[in-house]
Amino acid sequence: MSNRLNRVNFLIPIQNRIQLVEDKMREQPDGHHPDLFMALEHLLSSGGKRVRPAVALLTGGMYGADPDRLVILGAAIELLHTATLVHDDLIDGALFRRGIATLNASWSPAATVLTGDYVFARAAKMAAETDSVEVMQLFADTLATIVSGELTQMFTSRGLISREDYYQRIYAKTASMFELATAASAVLSPVDEGTVRVAKQMGNDIGMAFQIVDDVLDFTGEQATVGKPVASDLRQGLVTLPAIYYSEAHPSDPELSALLNSQYYSEERLDRVVREIRKSGAIEQSMDEARHYINSALESLRLQPECTERFALEELAQYIVERSL
Amino acid sequence: MSNRLNRVNFLIPIQNRIQLVEDKMREQPDGHHPDLFMALEHLLSSGGKRVRPAVALLTGGMYGADPDRLVILGAAIELLHTATLVHDDLIDGALFRRGIATLNASWSPAATVLTGDYVFARAAKMAAETDSVEVMQLFADTLATIVSGELTQMFTSRGLISREDYYQRIYAKTASMFELATAASAVLSPVDEGTVRVAKQMGNDIGMAFQIVDDVLDFTGEQATVGKPVASDLRQGLVTLPAIYYSEAHPSDPELSALLNSQYYSEERLDRVVREIRKSGAIEQSMDEARHYINSALESLRLQPECTERFALEELAQYIVERSL
């Protein structure tokens, strides 16, 4: 998927600037511990699609922000994202992410905590380099939202959740960071407050769709493509939109609740539930939700005059819902 | 010690504003997980002396900064300090700090990591509320310095270190945060760049002295007063200034190096080493260092016109070296 995304058209207008973001993320201040750079390099070379910086570069480009400040912003956003992943992996005990060993797999938990903190510090430093107090506040708010969401998830007992809880969770986990990318880009642009609000909504829409499709792919994707076992969320007791729609349509299905309520899942039961969810309308209902968000994002984009960046964002939005096909 | 400090004179001019700092730290934004507030309240009620906010309030008061912004700054600094302590305690596996159970003692490591992150986010948010990009940058730099220092300490093998390594370590661990308190206060004040540099140096001097005296008290203090067992640093293989001076004077003493190089220490050997260090000139040499830093801070203060805040800072500086008596 990563390769395919790297080839898609919407990245062409910003290829050079994405490279500048990569360089910026790797900037090495003097006097810090050398192992920190090795760790940071390891984290950054684990790749990822740089979707968040792409969204920031394109949004800010569309609104007329200074390109250099957008590169700094893109790097700050991807570093913040990276820092939350480091602590996430530690919390989940994950040994791999995107097929590459996590820091957690080879470092002690203590070193991993500190490395995550260090990446936070680098992200904060870079956010401050945008020279905008408002951008700094957006960063701090986003971090608080993400962390609060993770704690809520940690303290929520396993089992079914409502759609409303699900939306709150994916907002905190994913959409808040896309919202940061678009809102901060708009803040750095010569636009009025109304446009900042539209930008923020657009980031939220793109992020919500992005996570819903990710959750659908967890059911429909092949392990080789998605890079993790099918239904990895359900295996961890994490209920996502397809399972919620399925349980709404089949409230008395004993298989799903047995799966969620037992300490250990049986592989056979998991297989049966996944097959049932795939056969049901739940996948299509979830994709309808994702398309709803993307359509809302496209409407926001149509408020802007036509330009390369707007077209690229439209493509990016379309790609998010089409990558599941 | 905490009680004694709370009664000392230099806090009188800022008693009300310290209370405002306390209130500000406890501000609860909507929509975040309720357990976060319980955790934050627990952390903040563990007290501490609020020396860092006091330094910020007094320095900014002396330079003529807006009092409301200083309260915000003081709260941001104490929150940053608190966040680093949460992750520290997790890393050290400490179950108590200042005689009160750490979060780590009752929460899972995962929840503790996230709570620390949340306090970072709150600190960043509050730092942004000072409305100064320069203050934000100082915050980010300080966090990077602290974390890098902790990693250096983690990766340094046990055993003797040089005085230079020691100074680097206590700068990262303690003095950097005092430097933040004075430099950020000056940045928020109507003063020139030269004054900001003087303020920064003064914070550094106060912080270095503060940590050296802490390290001396670890040898000379009674457990009841200091709140931890005598020579708790040496027990953890951490070499501080008194031990460094002692080993410089007794390079061939087999007891100290045996203590540092063995995996498990014998209580008898520790007692002998502590007695030798106390008897030697190492304690007085260390206190001379601390007094040297305090004298430098007092010189910086004498550059300012006489005012209540200057006098209070002078008292605070004196108190730091006298509390060991």
Mutate which: B133, B134, B167, B188, vs A, most A CBs within 10 A: B133
Query: Which phi and psi (to 5°) does residue B56 adopt?
Result: -65, -45
Average pLDDT of chain B to the nearest whole number:
87
Q: How many CA atoms lie within 13 A of A217 on its CB side?
A: 21
- The residue that leads in pLDDT, B317 or A256, is B317
Determine which of A23-27, A299-303, B171-175, B266-270 has the lowest per-residue pLDDT on average.
Answer: B266-270
Q: What ipTM, to 2 d.p.? A: 0.84
What's the full length of chain B, in residues?
325
pLDDT of A318 reads: 94
Domain residue spans of chain A: 2-322
Pairwise CA distance, residues A100 & A165, whole Å: 31
* pLDDT interval class at B6 (50, 70, 90): very low
Average confidence score pLDDT of chain A: 87
Nearest residue to A66 (alpha-carbon basis) of A131, A136, A137: A131
Report which of residues B58 and B226 the model is more confident about: B58
Neighbours of A267 (CB within 10 A): 8
Residue B56's alpha-carbon distances to B20, B22, B184, B188, B252, in angstroms, are: 13, 14, 8, 10, 45
H/E run at residue B275: helix B267-279
> With an 8 Å Cβ cutoff, are B136 and A133 in contact?
yes
User: Hey, how many other C-beta atoms are within 10 angstroms of the C-beta on B305?
Assistant: 7
B220–chain A nearest CA distance, Å:
30
Please report which confidence band the pLDDT of residue B1 belongs to, taking 50, 70 and 90 as the band edges: very low
Fold annotation for A2-322 = Farnesyl Diphosphate Synthase (1.10.600)
The dihedral through the CA atoms of A78, A79, A81, A85 has a sign that is positive
Task: Select from B72, B119, B120 the residue whose CB has the most chain A CBs within 10 Å, as the one to mutate to test that interface.
Answer: B120
* Closest CA relative to residue A114, chosen from B186, B24, B117, B290: B117
Residue B101: phi and psi, rounded to 5, are: -55, 135
* H helix runs in chain A, sequence order: 2-7, 15-25, 34-45, 51-63, 67-92, 103-106, 109-129, 133-155, 163-170, 176-187, 193-220, 223-226, 232-235, 241-249, 254-261, 267-279, 282-302, 308-322
Burial of B225 (0-12, 13-18, 19+ CB in 10 A): exposed
Shortest Cα–Cα distance, B151 to chain A (Å): 7
Out of B118, B137, B144, the one facing A148 most closely (by C-beta) is B118
**Residue B325, pLDDT score:** 46
What's the length of chain A?
325
Tokens 């430093």 sit at which residue?
Answer: A125
Which H/E stretch holds residue B298? Answer: helix B282-302
Q: What single letter denotes the amino acid at residue A1?
A: M
Q: CA–CA separation, B19 vs B15, rounded Å? A: 6
User: Which token pair is B126?
Assistant: 């509050």
CB contact under 8 A, B151 and A36: yes
The amino acid at A149: G
Query: Could you say which of A116, A120, A128 has the minimum Cβ distance to residue B133?
Result: A128
A100 near A46, Cβ under 8 Å? yes
Q: B81 touching A, CB under 8 A?
A: no
Q: Which two tokens stand for residue B182?
A: 């004075």
- Check if B18 contacts A (Cβ < 8 Å): no
Query: Considering chain B, what percentage of its residues have pLDDT values greater than 90?
Result: 59
**Which of B35, B136, B143 to substitute to test the interface with A, most A CBs within 10 Å?**
B136
Q: Which residue has the tokens 């800010």?
A: A60
* Residue B36 vs residue B73, higher pLDDT: B73
| Residue A8 tokens, joined | 């898609």
What's the token pair of residue B70?
A: 């200083």
Is residue B75 over pLDDT 50? yes
Question: Model confidence at B225, in pLDDT bands (50, 70, 90)?
Answer: low
Judged by a CB distance cut-off of 8 A, whether residue A87 touches chain B is yes
- Residue of A230, A213, A170 whose CA lies nearest to A317: A213
CA distance A170 to A208: 7
Q: Residue A48's pLDDT is what? A: 76
**CA–CA distances in Å: residue A37 to residues A24, A25, A45, B46:** 13, 11, 12, 35
**Coil, strand, or helix at residue B60?**
helix
DSSP-assigned letter for residue B189: S
Under DSSP, is residue A96 helix (H, G, I), strand (E, B) or coil?
Answer: strand
d(CA A42, CA A46): 6
Per residue in B101-130, pLDDT (tens digit) is: 777 666 777 788 888 999 999 999 999 999
pLDDT exceeds cutoff 60 at A325:
no
* Phi, psi for residue B5 in degrees, rounded to 5: -65, -40
B166 within 8 A of B239, measured Cβ to Cβ: yes
Tell me the two tokens of residue A165: 């809880």
Q: Which residue of B has its CA nearest to A39?
A: B151
Task: Tell me how close the Cα of A3 comes to any Cα of chain B, in angstroms.
Answer: 32
CB of A131 within 8 Å of a chain B CB? The answer is: yes
Determine the Cα–Cα distance for residues B50 and B75; give it in Å rounded to an integer. Answer: 9
Does the distance separating the beta carbons of B110 and A109 come in below 8 Å?
no
Among B280, B200, B269, B193, which residue's Cα sits nearest to residue B241? B280
End-to-end CA gap in chain B = 12
Higher pLDDT, B70 or A109: B70
B122 vs A: CB within 8 A: yes
- Interface test mutation site (partner A, options B82, B147, B176, max chain A beta carbons within 10 A): B147
Q: Which residues of B touch A115 (CB under 8 A)?
A: 151
Q: Who's near B124: CB < 8 A, 6+ residues apart?
A: A124, A136, A139, A140, A143, B76, B136, B139
Q: Phi, psi (5° rounding) for residue B100?
A: -115, 145
Nearest-CA distance A155 → chain B (Å): 9
pLDDT in tens, A137-172: 999 999 999 988 888 888 776 667 899 999 999 999
Could you tell me how far CA A200 lies from the centroid of its own chain?
A: 15
